[in-house]
Structure 1
């Protein structure tokens, strides 16, 4: 029985590694929007085995980042600037609810994860490392989801966060990382302080900032 449990946990970890690796390729446009690839190419690229890669593909397809076309390959979702605004509008209320819940339920243990996310984000800014910044941003999203104790909202917002990171990488990654990080750190501070009202307010400000960036991207692409 112990062996079966251990094998199951190992498979889950490999599946999550495959998902994170494939998600990063999509978010950072290493798999270009609108391009077509195959399961075999992705398996070879990730070197993680057919089953975990297939599970990752299915998960990303459900999230709207890929489309599995029988006998025609795997299409990477196109990237249209107008859709970023829609993504932010869909995220906003969920993000505010999760941040407020995280502030209300924060513990010493979960606060450590928030401090780590803030430090990693600040290190990425100092190093001007976009990839590290994206990792820290995802780390923060995960910390908020876990601290909020609301798996239903977290499950809905997670794909939207991935879409948003992809848009941000395409349209904002060459801009000032410090500006982007500052508002995230304000959210973290409010949550760690257990200030539910401030957490909601700062998250709303973050969403408004992202929406302005999305609107600017749309204007430039028009």
Structure 2
């Protein structure tokens, strides 16, 4: 997985995917709602083929469901599922952080720095959507640094599901603490401290687990 870079320079299918993913994460496409391929093409102003490819990918990731002759259903948000997502993420996130600390290149370091700066700006301004974008960029930088395409493909959809839950249940109070945990991982990665990076990734998963457990009690 690569850093998103300038989205306008990406292939149409990648742009369609990123736009639809964002709309799902920030609940612009409401959980449990239905839409149609035509409506999404109209909203995105992209061709049928790239939008269809994006829909198929998001369906495989469990973020929507294509229902023949009944439209496209956006995945519901069940509070108890957040804990399942975090439990599934834990091992792969720790493994990727450890690998990133061992293999991070200068290019990956630059991407980490840009994403961390964007996250800190989002915290200062209280811009939750910008924080979501920065979090996505950090995940992409981690995937690039870890140099393990298998882990990246496993982690990416879980990260998207987790961002969606976080946006729904913690966006009003959790920016600064979440940013602090992410920055701690980045520092360990850039220091080449593989065990420290793994510990910090586990700390972030523990934080998310506490949020998920609280959401499940609501």
Q: Distance in 2 between matches of 1:163 and 1:109?
A: 27
Q: Distance in 1 between matches of 2:152 and 2:72?
A: 27
Residue ranges of structure 2 left out of the alignment (5+ in a row): 1-7
Of 105, 108, 129, which residue of structure 2 is paired with 1:107?
105
- For residue 7 of structure 1, what is the aligned residue in structure 2? none
- For residue 205 of structure 2, what is the aligned residue in structure 1? 207
Runs of 4+ off more than 6 Å: none
- For residue 149 of structure 1, what is the aligned residue in structure 2? 147
Q: Distance in 2 between matches of 1:176 and 1:83?
A: 19
Q: Distance in 2 between matches of 1:149 and 1:47?
A: 34
- For residue 5 of structure 2, what is the aligned residue in structure 1? none
- For residue 93 of structure 2, what is the aligned residue in structure 1? 95
- For residue 5 of structure 1, what is the aligned residue in structure 2? none
- For residue 43 of structure 2, what is the aligned residue in structure 1? 45
- For residue 163 of structure 2, what is the aligned residue in structure 1? 165
Structure 1 position 177, deviation (Å): 1.0
Q: Secondary structure at the match of 1:74?
A: strand
Structure 1 position 11, deviation (Å): 9.7
Structure having the higher Rg:
1
Structure 1 position 24, deviation (Å): 0.7
Whether 2:136 is the aligned partner of 1:138: answer yes
Q: Deviations over 1:115-153 (max 9, x none)?
A: 111101000001100010000000000001011110001
- TM-score for both structures, normalised by structure 2: 0.95
Structure 1 position 108, deviation (Å): 1.9
Q: Distance in 2 between matches of 1:145 and 1:215?
A: 27
Q: Secondary structure at the match of 1:131?
A: helix
Higher helix share: 1
- For residue 67 of structure 1, what is the aligned residue in structure 2? 65
Q: Is the alpha carbon distance of 1:128 and 1:212 closer, same or farther for their aligned partners in structure 2, counting shifts above 3 Å?
A: same
Aligned residues: 211
- For residue 195 of structure 1, what is the aligned residue in structure 2? 193
Q: Distance in 2 between matches of 1:46 and 1:71?
A: 22
- For residue 181 of structure 1, what is the aligned residue in structure 2? 179
